[in-house]
Structure 1
Amino acid sequence: MLGIVYSATLRIRPIRSYTIRNTKVDIDEFVRLLPNLMEVNAAVKVSLMPFRDRAYIEIRYPDEAERRAAALPWKLRDWATNSAMPKVIRSVNRVLPVKNLRDPLIDTLTEASHALSSKLVASGSNSIEQTGSFKKLVLNEETGSSTWLFSIANLASVIPAFRKFCERHYRSSGYRCDLPAEARRVDQDQYALLSPSFEGPLFALTMRSTNMEGWDDFLLEFAEFAVHFKGIPLFNQTRGVKPRYATTAYGDRLRRFRDIRKKLDPRNRLLSQFFVERLG
């Protein structure tokens, strides 16, 4: 989009251990907990099941003790979450076409998977997930995903509205995501001009599904929902991004980037069709 990467500088972080606390609450309770979750000195990840009114909160607290985390439980958890469950749910979609039977069964299996995976690991470190060694058991099968980011100030409004959006879309189209949505806190990052969290910390909301029939229409409608709540798209992880979405979200920083790009690449030799459609 702008040039060719020929040199990279890696920022090395020290290995940090952490302990994990898992909590299951309903979505309204999760919204009430948001102010505390925004201030906690820990990493926060939430799995949302709008049709069961469930929020599975995982908080990773820094642990000063330097302990070596066992790799096998992480392998099992990753296999169960990213390989086994999507395969099972994909199979259920194929063999059980009646949605009134299929979808409650999928939700029950998902809840059971969460209950099991939360018991597999109680501690870990940033190194065990970043080495990639524990991903050897994961099978590369297609699972759709799309991410939008929202300001922390808007999140208390976004989450309840997201649940209603999913229910409304399901009633009107018969389509719903068959995997839980994931919400993660993203700290402020000003190292890149087009960093989505350049102006402050955000929450990333990722929709995931193995059911591709109706997926694109769902994402197009969700994009309008996200824009209404001033959502910020990612250029490579958000499906259905239109130039006006990016212009609204990134504002002057995107205009500055366009000017720099045109100056350095006046003949558009490095501008692919992918970014033409997203940058305008």
Structure 2
Amino acid sequence: MMNRTEVAPYESHCVELLLEKLDAYIFTYDIQEDLLRIHRAMGDTTERILEGYLQGLRKIQFGSVHPDFVEPLSLLITGQTTESQEMLIDPSLEPKGRYRWYQVAIKLIRDEAGRVTGTQGIIWDIESSTGQSDQAFARFRSERDSVTGIYNEIGLSKAVNLYIEGQGRDDDSVLLCIMLENFPRLAKEHGKRWGDQLLARICKSVGGLFRDGDVMAHLGEGVFVVFAKDLGRAEVIDAKINAIRHLFRADNMVYGSYGIHPQVGAAYYSEDGKDAGELLVVAMERMKLSIANGKK
């Protein structure tokens, strides 16, 4: 049996083997300087320093990141969203668009005042587990929202139904449909990139009100859906809805000035529906009723 002094070198060796197997890269990104430092975790660990990284990334049409993932990667490494994501990347020294599937995960770097100044993260190869790039990319696009990286309606249905048909069959779960009134108008006035960045921030804030295992989706035009698993008591659900509304109150320092009004509709499993489709129809109807009542 190993003692504690023997365990540390053993664990370090295991981590090294894992990083080598995954063909992992480690990076840090400075937001103010727009500077990325990246190197292989194992093997040739020569560090590359990429100045003006995001500015250049958005200009290069064919290279280190597939065009469909430029904006999601930008939001991730600048800390505007923190959910680990799958992306098509060519991390070679001279990228030529020979993309493979990589998983990207980040951690925020903050200064003494708590402001986010950058990110540090890891990129690892998941091509063998994800499958052929073309097939996996088609599946990704069919199930994920291109801006936030969370599920779209198809992905939501699959994830919710899988849970309901399995371990969640007897749970008291709820599906919440959240419409951000005025968001489409704001996005049109300020431009797509501004709207995408705000959407990613809102996604992170709303998601932070729920548990990691809950299912979240963006259906487009600022309409979010959260399937909260085994939520239980009605007062807990009411507290979640009030927390969502509180995010956009006029006195909220982050979102209060945008004039966004969230409307929420809830559908309860299995009282209101026995699958994702049925629950979504009920939740949207109740959301629309909330909007109508608010205009009277």
TM-score, structure 2 length as denominator? Answer: 0.25
Considering fraction of residues, name the structure with more helix.
Answer: 1
Q: Compare CA radii of gyration and give the structure with the larger one.
A: 2
* Higher RCO (CA-CA < 8 Å; seq separation 6+): 1
TM-score, structure 1 length as denominator? Answer: 0.26
